[in-house]
Amino acid sequence: MTITLILEQIFNGLQAGVTLFLVAAGLTLILGVMNFVFLAHGAQVMIGAYAAAAITNATGHFYIGILLAIPLTFISGYLLEYLVIRHLYRRDHMEQVLATFGLILFFNEAIRIGFGPAALFSDLPPSLSGFVEILPGVPYPAFRLWVIVVGLCCALAIGLFVSRTRTGAMLRAGAENPEMAAALGVNIKRLFRLIFAAGATFAGIAGMMLGPLTAVQPGMGEPLLILSLVVIIIGGIGSVRGAFIAAIIVGLVDTVGRVFLPSLLRLFFDQATADGAGPALASMLVYILMAVILIFRPTGLFPAKGRE
Amino acid sequence: MKKFACAGALLAALTATPVLADTVKIGYMTTLSGGAGITGTQMKQAVELAMEHKAGKLGGMDADVIFVDDQRKPDVAKQLANRLLKRDRVDIVAGVIWSNLLMAIHKPVTRSGKLLISSNAGPSTIAGKNCHKNFFSLSWQNDQTPEAMGKHMQDAGIKSVYLMAPNYQAGKDMLTGFKRYYSGEVVAEVYTKLGQTDFQAELSALRAAQPETTMVFQPGGMGINFVKQWKQAGMDSVSKLYSVFTVDAVTLPALQDSGLGILGTQTWSADIDNPVNKKFVADYKAKYGSYPSFYAAQAYDTILAIDYAIGKAGSKDADKVGGLIL
C-alpha cells in the first residue's frame, strides 16, 4: 500500500463523488424545495447517457453528442414536469412514490423498445483516451480527470447560482419555508419547473460522463439513485452545499473502503475470513456512515435553516 | 462436444424412426422480458429454428413448443411450471437460464414424473447425490468453464494470477472451479459487489499489485463495464487478462474492439467446425441477422437432443427418453 496508490484511490473517490453530486444536486432540491418524492431521477441519468451515446454514434463526434444531449435532457425534464409531475404535487407522498416508481418502469421499457435491450456502444473520445501523469510514474486516465473537472465546474456553477442570483435566493427561501416564500410572491410554479428541468439536466450530464465508462443500458441509473438518496440524507435535505460535501464523502468512503478494507481486515483475521467479510462490510460502509451521522445530526450535516 | 456427437447421430436415427401419430408437448421457459430479455429471445429464436429444421416433428412425432416468460423471477417460474404441467400437460419442461429459477421448478417438475431439461442453468446443488433421474443439463455445472480456464493457464506455465468475481454464489463457484485446476500463485482473490458499475478502484489496486495475469468472471453488464474500464486504464500493459462469461455474444455488441485479445473459455463457439453447427450458425444468421450466442446454441442443442432421444426410444415416456438425452 504505497502513497501513490492512496493518491490514485483518492482521485477515484473524487470522480465517483462529483458524479454522485450531479445526480444528488437536483434531487435534493426536488425533495427539499418541492417536497416531492421523485424516484425516477435515475431515469434522467439514463436519458442523458442514451442521448449522448446515440448522437455520438450517429455523428462520430463525442463533443457534438454532449452539446446536443444537454438541451435534450433539459427539454425532457421540462416536459416531464409539465405532463406528469405537476399533477402530483398535491398528492401525498405514498402516491408520489407509486407514480414515480411507475415512471421508472415506463422509461426503462421505452428505452428498451427504442434502442433494444442490449447495451449501447459508447466509447471514449480519442482526445481524452490517453493518460495524464498525476505524479511521476502514476498515469491516470484523462477522461476520468475530465469528469472530475466537469463535475467541479458544474458544482461551482450550481453553487454560484444558488448563492448569488435572485432565483437562487428564491430557491433557498423555498427550501427553508415554502409557504412563506409563496406568500411573498415567489412564482412557485415556474420555480418548480425550473428546478425540475435543471435537476434533470445535471443528472443527464452525470449520465453522459458515465456513458463512456460504464454500460449504457436500460436501468443504468438506478444504482446511482440509492447512493444519491444516501448523499441527500447525509448532506441535509434541500441543501446543495450539503449534497456536495456528502457526495465527496460518500464517493471517497465507498471507493477507498472497498479497496483497503479487505487488506485492513487481513491484519486482524485470517485470509478466508477477511476475504469473506471484507467485501460485505465494504458495501455496507456508506450506510453505516449514514446511520452514524443521523445519530449525531438527525437532519444531516448542513440542513436548510428552517429544517434544523 | 458429446452433444454434437448426439446431434450427428440423430441424422441416422431420423431416417429410421417409424411414423407415430402421437404429439409431444414441450414447455420452453426462458426470460423474454427485462434486462436479460435479449438472452431469452435468442434462445427462443434458436428453438424455433431447430423446430423449423426438424419440420415441426421431434423423433417422428408431431411436436408442439409452448414458450413462457419467467421474467427472471423464481415465483413466476414456479407458477408457470405448474401451469405447463397441469393445464398444458406438457411432456417436457425445458429452457431456464438462471440457477435460482431452476431450483424453484426442479421439485415440481421432477416430482410430476416429467422431464426437466436445462438449456443453461447448472447449479452444483442438484448434481451428485441430489441428482434426479429426470433432470438433465445440456450446458454445464457452474464451475466447469473456469475449470477449463484453470487448466489452460496451468498448462501454459503461468506463475501468478489475480482473481476477481462478484460477491455471490456463482462468483465463488467460478473461482473455486478455477483454483481446482490451477496450482500457481493466487496473488489476490477480490470479490466485487454484484451489479457494480465502476471498477476503477479495483483496477488501481490491481495496477499496484502488478500480477502476471488476471482472471475475471463478470457476466453481463458488469463485463461491459469491467472490460471497458480495463482498456481505458491501459491495464493491458500491466497484466494479461483472461475471463469466463465476460466477453461473449451478450457483451460484444457494446464492447466492440475493446474485447480484442481477451482470452476466454467457453463450451461452444460459433466457429466450431462440424456440419450441424455450421448449419445452425449459417441459418441463424440468415434468419435473424446476428450471430447466435452460446445460450442460443444450447437451446438449439436441447431440441436436437430431445429429437434424438424420442426417436431412439420410439416413445415420449419420460423413463425411456430420459436415459437417451445425454
Q: What is the pLDDT of residue A19?
A: 93
Mean pLDDT of A266-279: 76
Q: B118 and B54, same structural domain?
A: yes
Number of domains within chain B = 2
Q: B43 and B188, same structural domain?
A: no
Residue with cell 483497503: A260
Q: B189 and B119, same structural domain?
A: no
Q: What is the pLDDT of residue A3?
A: 80
Mean pLDDT of A157-167: 89
Q: B98 and B152, same structural domain?
A: no
Q: B280 and B237, same structural domain?
A: no
Show residues of chain B in contact with A223, CB under 8 Å.
195, 197
Mean pLDDT of A191-218: 90
Residues B100-109 have pLDDT tens digits of 899 999 999 9
CA distance A277 to A265: 8
Residue B145 has pLDDT above 80, yes or no: yes
Q: Is A231 left (phi over 0), alpha (psi -120 to 50) or beta?
A: alpha
B21: confidence class by pLDDT, cuts 50, 70, 90: low
- Whether the CB of B290 is below 8 Å from some CB of chain A: the reply is no
Q: B283 and B201, same structural domain?
A: no
Q: B39 and B114, same structural domain?
A: yes
Show residues of chain B in contact with A283, CB under 8 Å.
167, 193
Rounded to the nearest angstrom, the gap between the alpha carbon of residue B231 and the centroid of all alpha carbons in its chain is 27
Query: Which among A195, A148, A151 has a CA at the least distance from the CA of A174?
Result: A195
Residue % of chain B over a pLDDT of 90:
47
Show residues of chain B in contact with A145, CB under 8 Å.
none
Smallest CA–CA distance from A256 into chain B, residue:
B201
Residue A83 has pLDDT above 90, yes or no: yes
Cross-chain CB nearest to A5 (options B189, B208, B228): B208
- Whether the CB of B210 is below 8 Å from some CB of chain A: the reply is no
Q: What is the pLDDT of residue B323?
A: 78
Residue B188 has pLDDT above 90, yes or no: no
Residue % of chain A over a pLDDT of 70:
98
Flag if A118 and B253 touch (Cβ within 8 Å).
yes
Mean pLDDT of A58-67: 90
Q: What is the pLDDT of residue B37?
A: 76
pTM for the predicted model, two decimal places: 0.79
Query: ipTM for the complex?
Result: 0.77
The enclosing domain of B286 has a CATH number of 3.40.50.2300
- Whether the CB of B197 is below 8 Å from some CB of chain A: the reply is yes
Contact A10, A187 (CB under 8 A): no
Cross-chain CB nearest to A118 (options B38, B195, B258): B38
Q: B94 and B110, same structural domain?
A: yes
- Whether the CB of B168 is below 8 Å from some CB of chain A: the reply is no
Q: B285 and B247, same structural domain?
A: no
Q: B188 and B95, same structural domain?
A: no
Mean pLDDT of B279-285: 94
- Which domain range does residue B279 map to? 2-140+271-322
Flag if B195 and A143 touch (Cβ within 8 Å).
no
Q: What is the pLDDT of residue A251?
A: 93
Flag if A119 and B204 touch (Cβ within 8 Å).
no
Flag if A2 and B205 touch (Cβ within 8 Å).
no
Contact A230, A293 (CB under 8 A): no
Q: B252 and B297, same structural domain?
A: no
- Whether the CB of B272 is below 8 Å from some CB of chain A: the reply is no
Mean pLDDT of A183-194: 84
Q: Is the dihedral of CA B253, B254, B257, B260 positive or negative?
A: negative
Query: Which among A236, A183, A214, A184 has a CA at the least distance from the CA of A53?
Result: A214
A223: confidence class by pLDDT, cuts 50, 70, 90: confident
Show residues of chain A in contact with B232, CB under 8 Å.
124, 129, 141, 143, 212-213
Task: Using the 3D structure, point to which of B226, B241, B265 is the last residue of a domain.
Answer: B265
A175: confidence class by pLDDT, cuts 50, 70, 90: confident
Q: What is the pLDDT of residue A81?
A: 92
Mean pLDDT of B186-212: 87
Task: Using the 3D structure, point to which of B250, B265, B280 is the last residue of a domain.
Answer: B265
Q: B163 and B148, same structural domain?
A: yes
Alpha helices in chain A (DSSP H): 3-32, 41-59, 62-83, 93-115, 142-164, 166-176, 178-183, 188-210, 222-235, 240-266, 271-296
Q: What is the pLDDT of residue B11?
A: 45
Task: Using the 3D structure, point to which of B246, B265, B284 is the last residue of a domain.
Answer: B265
A1: confidence class by pLDDT, cuts 50, 70, 90: low
Mean pLDDT of B167-178: 85
Contact B283, B31 (CB under 8 A): no
